[in-house]
Amino acid sequence: MIDKDRIPETITSTLLLPFLEKNLLGRIDKINFPPPIFEAMKGEVVDFDIENESLKNKFPVLSEYLNPYGSMQGGMISAAIDNTIGPLSLLVSPPSFTRHMEVKYRKIVSPELGYIYVTAKFIGKKKQQLFFEAVVEDSDGNKLASAKSTHWVID
């Protein structure tokens, strides 16, 4: 059984727990949801929209995420994106893994922003492949980065 205490309330309160359990295909004891890196990055689920198959998370811009120029390192922005698309993939399909992710950085992410908000959307499926898009924004809705990701469903 899934440890319900580890799943963000925004997911359990929307009655998605049975949906998540169904998609895990008996791998409940082998999958951490949310993943430990999500917790290490202090991620928070902001919204899950089952009809639009989208998930919005927020992540703080911490000093340990900064590059030598004082802005958030691109790899940490990519990790925030992956930590939004990955959990979304478990909510919309059987377990999968990232095969390819392309990120386009648009603006510097400075600590003054406080948080970044990542919204991921499931675009579709073709055989074993899943397609996602994501956008990274500040609290005012300014676009900071975007991404496209392809996942492969685990047999």
pLDDT above 70 as % of the chain: 78
* Angle at the Cα of 78 from the Cα atoms of 4 and 155, rounded to 5 degrees: 55
* Residues 125 and 92 sit within 8 Å (Cβ to Cβ): no
Instruction: Kindly report the backbone phi and psi dihedral angles of residue 87, in degrees, each rounded to the nearest multiple of 5, phi listed first.
Output: -60, -35
* Residues 117 and 138 sit within 8 Å (Cβ to Cβ): yes
Q: How far apart are CA 148 and CA 28, in angstroms?
A: 27
Residue whose entry in the numeric block shows the structure tokens 């999500």: 38
Kindly indicate the confidence band of residue 109, based on its pLDDT and cuts at 50, 70 and 90.
Answer: very high
pLDDT above 90 as % of the chain: 63
* Domains annotated on the chain, with CATH: 4-153 (3.10.129.10)
pTM: 0.85
CA torsion, points 77, 82, 88, 94, in degrees to nearest 10? Answer: 180
Helix (H, G, I), strand (E, B) or coil at 76: helix
Whether the per-residue pLDDT at 115 is higher than 90: the answer is: yes
Read off the tokens for 76.
Answer: 């940490």
Summarised one tens digit per residue, pLDDT across range 40-56 is 999 998 888 889 999 99
pLDDT of residue 144: 98
Q: Bin 141: left if φ > 0, else alpha if -120 < ψ < 50, else beta.
A: left
Kindly indicate the confidence band of residue 4, based on its pLDDT and cuts at 50, 70 and 90.
Answer: low
